[in-house]
Amino acid sequence: MMVMATQNFYTIDRLLADSPNDVFKSTADAMANPTAREMLRYLSSELNRLYFQYWNLAQLVIGVVALWLVSSLPESKPAMWEIVSMLLVVVFLMVFITPPLVRIGRTMDFIPRDPVPPQMRTFGLLHATYTVLMVINLVLGILVTLWIQREQEN
């Protein structure tokens, strides 16, 4: 998700600088490049917001299915607790981090970044929190995978 969200924004500048599509180029030129860039950044922001919300839901579904599958394994308590921890992280993200991240992000659409808007600090903290919790879930997922692999070898 982090790579995709970042690439969505970089793609805008790449397309405006050198799009292979002549119709896009002429339309962007007719809009004036800064206006086209702002419109495309807005679209990218909305798509990223949608993707993050869907990613949260997907993680919830994957976590519940993983918990169900692991519960059938003998001696599965450690893996079950790690998956429960991962699910709690996702629920925390869904309830406390993603909604204000989306709301604050929308307040920053189409406003100048110089000077830095006051809500940028809160947005940055929420974004960093989301990222750190995703890394924690990644580490927990790797640990669960290693535990299951080790148990299957025994």
Over residues 84-128, the pLDDT tens digits come to 999 999 999 999 999 999 999 999 999 998 999 999 999 999 999
CB atoms within 10 A of CB 66: 21
Distance of alpha carbon 48 from its chain centroid, rounded?
7
- pLDDT score, position 151: 83
Q: Write down the residue that tokens 């800064």 correspond to.
A: 34
In this prediction, residue 2 has a pLDDT band, given cuts at 50, 70 and 90, of confident
Q: Report the amino acid identity of residue 2.
A: M
* Maximum mean pLDDT: which of 9-13, 77-81, 137-141: 137-141
Over residues 26-58, the pLDDT tens digits come to 998 898 878 899 999 999 999 999 999 999 999
111 burial via Cβ count (<10 Å: 0-12, 13-18, 19+): exposed
| Rounded Cα distance, 136 and 128, in Å | 12
